[in-house]
């Protein structure tokens, strides 16, 4: 009985994740999303692409010819995932460095379809939202209460990660501020010195010039 | 007598059959309700995207009638950190609109079933692209599988767990908010740092340049007077 329920829930989840938010891009366009995540955090991306059909003035539910190129870069601009998926895909990656991860999508279409519209359904889940609790419950045979506590634990873990990341970012922020502070200080000092030297040199130069011209 | 017994037995089996049937129908109903609930609600998506200069990006979401939705955005970098935002209902009627806003949130209940549109426009800005964070939550959070589907009263433990879950969700939201504000501040600070560097070097260079040019002009000025000076000498 319970297993049936879980099966049903799983199927529904799968159905459900396919719909949701969507947007339009042209076939040659590249769309990027940024996810700022702490380290060791799982990100799941679900998408479905539909091709615009001018005949029916709608979008074809399945477009087997279309493939999507998905590229994920981490905060150091290093590629951590770059693959071509079909019109529907699901990928997950785990961050190893904290920071902004850029997820870019573009279709692998050729000039053949050039300019056609694509409808992209997208769902991005980060951290504890990415955990599939139906699966967890089934695999580890947890009771309801255990499952609840498990979710709480995952949430707390995510919060801890986020706080560590916060500390890291605060450090970076402070570093920038201190750099600005010292730059302002040293530049103003340097400028004052330059100004004084310039004035001194100008006076001396002019004096010797006038003396040479016998003007004074 | 025997007949009667048989009758009663048949009755018994009939009763148990109907009970089974009843159980099945309730189960079906329950699953249908669960299906509806799952299909109806709970599409929470948060993402950050890059809005190019002079561009308009729209996102669409189908919302069922009487579902509450929560929409939040925040510009975390670029230009004056502002963007034009409009929310439209399926009839293309504007239900929410803000111009040149940095951050805001809006909660609404869908009056009709259909595709709702959220558009971000950067048409007024010719040079700067913006980084925009969007949080679009439709319906309630999906419940844990196998949990909340039964109709019994929650135990104290379960209630506490639920309360903690809600509180932790609030904490996560607050953290996201802080993270965005921090990103905003940090990007500004990095910008200022860069600007201090560039402007200070430019200023120093211009001070030196002006100093040199001043002397050159002045010298030229006096060397040009030379003929008149010679005339003075002759006189």
Per-residue pLDDT reduced to its tens digit, B178-205 = 888 888 888 889 989 999 999 999 999 9
What is the per-residue DSSP string for B145-156?
A: TTSS-S-SPPPH
Do B225 and B186 share a structural domain?
Answer: yes
Q: Which band of pLDDT confidence, cut at 50, 70 and 90, is reported for residue A7? A: very low
Q: B90 and B62 share a domain?
A: yes
Nearest CA to CA, how far is B119 from chain A (Å)? Answer: 10
Which segments of B12-112 are extended strands (E)?
43-51, 56-63, 68-77, 83-88, 94-101, 103-109
Closest CA to B140 of B62, B35, B70: B70
**For residues A125-144, average pLDDT:** 84
Looking at the partner chain, which of A8, A36, A198 has a beta carbon nearest the beta carbon of B211? A198
Tokens of B116: 């709702």
Q: Which pLDDT score is estimated for A11?
A: 44
Contacts (Cβ under 8 Å, ≥6 apart) of B57: A23, B49, B51, B119, B120
Q: Are residues B55 and B136 located together in one domain of the fold?
A: yes
For the cut 90, the answer to whether the pLDDT of residue B167 exceeds it is yes
Of B46, B60, B144, the CB nearest to A23: B60
Name the nearest CA neighbour of B88 among B133, B46, B118, B130: B118
Residue B229: per-residue pLDDT: 53
pLDDT of residue B202: 95
Q: Give the tokens for residue B220.
A: 């030229």
Q: Which two tokens stand for residue B119?
A: 């558009």
Rounded CA separation A130/A142 (Å): 19
For residues A121 and A45, is the Cβ–Cβ distance under 8 A? no
Interface of B with A in 191-220 (CB under 8 A): 192-193, 196-197, 200-201, 203-204, 207-208, 211, 214-215, 218-219
In a domain, B148, yes or no: no
Q: Which residues of B touch A23 (CB under 8 A)?
A: 57-60
More confident residue, A182 or A89: A182
Write the pLDDT tens digit of every residue in B70-105. Answer: 899 999 888 888 899 999 988 888 989 999 888 888
Q: Specify the CATH number for the domain of residue B82.
A: 2.60.120.380
- Which one of B59, B146, B190 has the shortest CB-CB distance to A137? B146
- Res. A4 pLDDT band, cuts 50 70 90: low
Give CATH for domain A20-130: 2.60.120.380
Q: In this predicted structure, what is the pLDDT of residue A49?
A: 85
Q: Do residues A79 and A55 make contact, with C-beta atoms less than 8 angstroms apart?
A: no
Residue B24 has pLDDT above 60, yes or no: no
Buried b (16+ CB within 10 A) or exposed e, B42-72: bbbbbbbbbbeeeeebebbbbbeeebebebb
Place A194 in a pLDDT band, splitting at 50, 70 and 90.
Answer: very high
Chain CA centroid to CA B94, Å: 19
Chain A contact set for B219 (CB, 8 A): 209
Summarize pLDDT for A122-133 with one digit per residue, the tens: 888 888 888 888
Q: Are residues B123 and B76 in the same domain?
A: yes
pLDDT digits (tens, 9 = 90+) for A17-55: 445 788 888 877 888 999 888 988 899 988 888 887 777
Q: Report CB contact under 8 Å: A35, B48.
A: yes
Lowest mean pLDDT among A79-88, B51-60, B165-174: A79-88
Distance CA B14, CA A192 (A): 103
Spatial contact of B28 and B102, defined as CB atoms under 8 Å apart: no
| Rounded Cα–Cα distance for residues B149 and B151 (Å) | 7
Of A21, A33, A166, nearest to B43 by CB-CB distance is: A21
- Which positions in chain A touch B131 (Cβ < 8 Å)? 34
Final residue of a structural domain among B142, B168, B200: B142
Using CB atoms, pick whichever of B157, B168, B219 lies closest to residue A155.
B168
Contact residues, chain A, for B190 at CB < 8 Å: 176
Q: Is the pLDDT higher at A7 or at A88?
A: A88
User: B211 to chain A nearest CA, in Å?
Assistant: 6
pLDDT digits (tens, 9 = 90+) for A90-120: 888 999 988 889 999 888 766 555 567 788 8
- Is residue A184 within 8 angstroms of chain B, CB to CB? yes
CB contact under 8 A, B207 and A194: yes
Count structural domains, chain B: 3
Provide the mean pLDDT of chain A: 82
For helices B156-224 and A144-213, what crossing angle results, to 10°?
Answer: 10
Question: Greatest CA span in chain A, whole angstroms?
Answer: 112
Q: Which of B60, B165, B214 is closest, CB to CB, to A152?
A: B165
For residues B49 and B134, state if they share a domain.
yes
Q: Is the dihedral of CA B143, B147, B149, B153 positive or negative?
A: negative
Residues B46 and B126 occupy one common structural domain? yes
Instruction: Answer yes or no: is B147 within a domain.
Output: no
Quote the minimal CA–CA distance from B11 to chain A in Å: 28
- Position A214 scores a pLDDT of 83
pLDDT class of A213 with cuts at 50, 70, 90:
confident
DSSP A116: -
On the question of pLDDT at A15 being above 70, the answer is no
**Residue B22: burial class (beta carbons within 10 Å; 0-12, 13-18, 19+):** exposed
Residue B189 backbone zone (phi > 0: left; psi -120 to 50: alpha; other: beta):
alpha
Q: Are residues B158 and B130 in the same domain?
A: no
How many whole angstroms separate alpha carbon B59 and alpha carbon B119? Answer: 6
Co-location of B36 and B46 in the same domain:
no
* Radius of gyration of chain A measured on its C-alpha atoms: 30
Whether residues B94 and B122 share a domain: the answer is yes
Q: Which stretch, A149-163, B66-80, B153-167, has highest mean pLDDT? A: A149-163
Closest CA to A26 of A119, A159, A133: A119
Residues A107 and A89: beta-carbon distance below 8 Å = no
Question: Which of B95, B119, B142 corresponds to the end of one domain?
Answer: B142
Same domain, B172 and B205: yes
Predicted pLDDT at B209? 95
Tokens of B61: 């979401």
CA–CA separation, B102 vs B74, rounded Å? 6
Whether B128 and B193 share a structural domain: no
Rounded to 5 degrees, φ, ψ at B231 are -65, -40
Q: Quote the domain boundaries for residue B68.
A: 42-142
Q: Which of B80, B180, B88 is nearest to B134 (CA)?
A: B180
Amino acid A55: pLDDT: 72
A199 neighbourhood in chain B, CB within 8 Å: 211
Give residue-wise pLDDT tens across range B33-63.
444 444 444 568 888 999 988 888 999 988 8
Residue contacts between A and B (CB atoms, under 8 Å): 176
pLDDT of A169 > 80? The answer is yes
User: Which residue did the predictor score with more confidence, A194 or A141?
Assistant: A194
């Amino acid at each position: 009985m319970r297993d049936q329920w879980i099966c049903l829930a799983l199927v529904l989840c799968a159905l459900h994740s396919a719909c949701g938010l969507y947007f339009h891009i042209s076939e040659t366009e590249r769309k990027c999303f940024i996810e700022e995540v702490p380290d060791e955090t799982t990100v799941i991306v679900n998408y479905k692409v539909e091709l615009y059909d001018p005949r029916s003035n709608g979008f074809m539910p399945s477009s087997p010819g279309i493939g999507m190129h998905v590229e994920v870069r981490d905060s150091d601009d290093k590629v951590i995932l770059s693959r071509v998926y079909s019109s529907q895909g699901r990928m997950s990656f785990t961050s190893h460095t904290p920071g902004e991860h850029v997820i870019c999508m573009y279709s692998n279409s050729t000039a053949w379809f050039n300019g056609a519209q694509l409808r992209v359904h997208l769902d991005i889940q980060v951290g504890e939202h990415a955990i599939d609790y139906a699966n967890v419950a089934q695999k580890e045979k947890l009771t309801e209460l255990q499952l609840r506590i498990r979710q709480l634990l995952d949430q707390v873990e995510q919060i801890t990660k986020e706080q560590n990341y916060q500390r890291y970012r605060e450090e970076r922020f402070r570093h920038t501020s201190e750099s600005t502070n010292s730059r302002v200080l040293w530049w103003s000092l340097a400028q004052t010195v330059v100004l004084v030297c310039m004035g001194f040199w100008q006076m001396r130069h002019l004096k010797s010039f006038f003396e040479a011209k016998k003007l004074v | 007598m025997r007949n009667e017994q048989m009758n009663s037995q048949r009755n018994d089996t009939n009763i148990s059959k109907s009970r089974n049937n009843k159980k099945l129908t309730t189960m079906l109903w329950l699953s249908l309700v669960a299906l509806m609930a799952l299909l109806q609600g709970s599409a929470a998506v948060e993402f950050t995207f890059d809005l190019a200069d002079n561009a308009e990006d729209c996102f669409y979401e189908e919302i069922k009638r009487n579902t509450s939705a929560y929409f939040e955005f925040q510009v975390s970098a670029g230009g004056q950190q502002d963007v034009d935002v409009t929310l439209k209902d399926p009839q293309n009627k504007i239900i929410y609109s803000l111009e040149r806003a940095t951050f805001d949130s809006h909660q609404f209940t869908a009056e009709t079933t259909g595709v709702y549109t959220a558009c971000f426009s950067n048409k007024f800005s010719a040079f700067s692209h913006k980084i925009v964070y969007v949080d679009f939550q439709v319906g309630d959070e999906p419940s844990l599988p196998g949990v909340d589907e039964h109709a019994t009263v929650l135990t104290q433990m379960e209630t506490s767990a639920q309360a903690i879950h809600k509180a932790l969700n609030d904490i996560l939201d607050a953290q996201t908010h802080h993270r965005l504000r921090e990103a905003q501040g940090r990007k500004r600070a990095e910008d200022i740092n860069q600007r201090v560097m560039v402007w200070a070097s430019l200023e120093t260079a211009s001070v030196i340049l002006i100093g040199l040019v001043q002397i050159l002009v002045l010298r030229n000025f006096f060397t040009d007077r030379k003929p008149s000076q010679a005339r003075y000498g002759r006189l």
